[in-house]
Amino acid sequence: MYLSSCITASHESSGNRWEIKLEAQQKKGFDSIGVAMLPSAEYRRLTVDSNIAYIKLRHFNIGPEYPGYQDIFADIQKRKLKTLVIDLRGNPGGNLVWLARFYSHMIDSPKYFYRLPEEIKKQKQLYNNQKMRVWVDKMSKSAFELITPHPFTFKGKIYVLIDGGTFSVGSLLAANLKALKNVTFVGEETGGSKNVWTALTLKSLSLPTSQLLLRYGTLPAFFGDITNIDGRGVMPDVPVAYGVDDYLAGKDLELDLVLKDIKMNIKGG
């Protein structure tokens, strides 16, 4: 999906006022879900002669027209690229279907993506709701729990860029990638949890005084390393802290560190 701007002008003679109206015109594309937003994924090589692949995952709010990630990983495999940078910074989450499909390109054996706790069935107020009960039973047996590898699977070195804007299922992907071998995380602690959340089925209510809309999750799920549930996000292996001058200069400290590390490893190897 991409946007173009339509400018219309009108003039009120009585009020002697001009009104200029900017309208975003949505043109249907692979990411079209009826919401104006940037394409979900960007894939490129960092330099023309480089064997470093870069994938920016902006979100997982993707419609059914999206072709998936197989073409990206087929190209990576064809070019025999050995290093992959996955940029999850600012990823607010989205649809579990596409998240699971991306993860299938990262693994070489079936792995659990997340688990619904058995305690859900003991929560009578929640589980006795027929729609909720059907959904829980269905999801407990779904393919989203156990992910099988895709034929185009990346097996090289992986760097994952994260920050406080890595949230919801964006953090879920980060937590699952954290458990894989040969993966280095660079950046800041994720805004989403490293091993537990309450989401999946969302409910909404309007606050009585402010009338603000509050959305909240109703189903918990466990993922990643659940040996220590402390309310923290996924932590970087290499932390990065920006200063004011870095922001003003438009620097990308995470990517700079990754490229420097790759260069050092090449020299050392």
Question: Would you state the structure tokens that stand for residue 188, as one six-digit string?
Answer: 């800041």
pLDDT at 39 exceeding the cut of 60: yes
Q: 96: domain CATH number? A: 3.90.226.10
Domain membership flag for residue 5: no
Domain membership flag for residue 22: no
pTM (2 decimals)?
0.76
Domain membership flag for residue 189: yes
pLDDT tens track for 160-186? 999 999 988 899 999 999 989 899 999
105 contacts 69 by C-beta, under 8 angstroms: yes
Domain ranges, residue 70:
34-268
Domain membership flag for residue 12: no
Domain membership flag for residue 11: no
Question: Would you state the structure tokens that stand for residue 262, as one six-digit string?
Answer: 């790759």
SS in 3 state form for the chain? CEEEEEEEEEEECCCCEEEEEEEEEEECCCCCCCCCCCCCEEEEECCCCCCEEEEEECCECCCCCCCCCHHHHHHHHHHCCCEEEEECCCCCCECHHHHHHHHCCCCCCCEECCECCHHHHHCHHHHCCHHHHHHHHHHHCCCCCEECCCCCCCCCEEEEEECCCCCCHHHHHHHHHHCCCCEEEEECCCCCECCEEEEEEEEEEECCCCCCEEEEEEEEEECCCCCCCCCCECCCCEECCCCHHHHHCCCCHHHHHHHHHHHHHHHHC
What separation in angstroms does the CA of 22 have from each of 5, 6, 66, 219? Answer: 6, 6, 28, 40
pLDDT at 33 exceeding the cut of 60: no
Beta-bridged to residue 157, according to DSSP, are 83
Q: Looking up tokens 């470093």, which residue turns up? A: 52
pLDDT tens track for 5-20? 333 334 444 444 444 3
Domain membership flag for residue 41: yes
Domain membership flag for residue 8: no
Domain membership flag for residue 23: no
Q: pLDDT above 70 covers what percent of the chain? A: 72
Q: pLDDT above 90 covers what percent of the chain? A: 35
The total number of structural domains that make up the chain: 1
